[in-house]
Amino acid sequence: MPAATTGVKARKFRGEVFITEDRCKECGFCIEFCPPKVLEFSKEFNRHGYHPPILVNEAGCTGCDLCGLYCPDFAIYGLRVPVESPAATASAAGVSPLGNDASGVERVRQGGGI
């Protein structure tokens, strides 16, 4: 993946993806349309018997959130995290880029229910 690795040095941000595995229905949109192609199907099953995506190339992810925009099941999203401060990771991840509070956090952690 040459395109993905050459850009890493100059970047001030790194990408992270967050996956709610139990919501995934294995449609493959995130894997197919990821611009740097850093996702793959996991070998593991989720509780509904689907293979959720897994990040296989952490350095390649740009955090563009196109996976989040494509996901029909609201199961994945990408985030840009500043590279310098590892402490900023948690706080940046806790605040929605859309400027909303984090009231949904607990519900998401519990996973989906039918």
CA-based nearest residue to 1, from 38, 52, 27: 38
Structural element, H or E, at residue 77: strand 76-82
Among 14, 15, 17, 62, binds other proteins (CB under 8 A): 17
Residue 59 in the binding site for other proteins (CB under 8 A): no
Output 13 or 29, the one with its CB closest to other proteins.
29
As a whole number of angstroms, the distance between CA 81 and CA 89 comes to: 6
Residue ranges in 37-56 that form contacts with other proteins under rule CB under 8 A: 42, 48, 50, 54-55
d(CA 48, CA 35): 28
In this chain, which of 21, 60, 61, 80 binds other proteins, going by CB under 8 A?
A: 21
Q: Does 73 bind other proteins (CB under 8 A)?
A: yes
75 to 24, 42, 67: CA distances (angstroms):
6, 14, 9
Residues at the site binding other proteins, with contacts judged by CB under 8 A: 17-23, 25-29, 32-33, 42, 48, 50, 54-55, 65-66, 68-74, 77, 90, 93-105, 107-109, 112-114
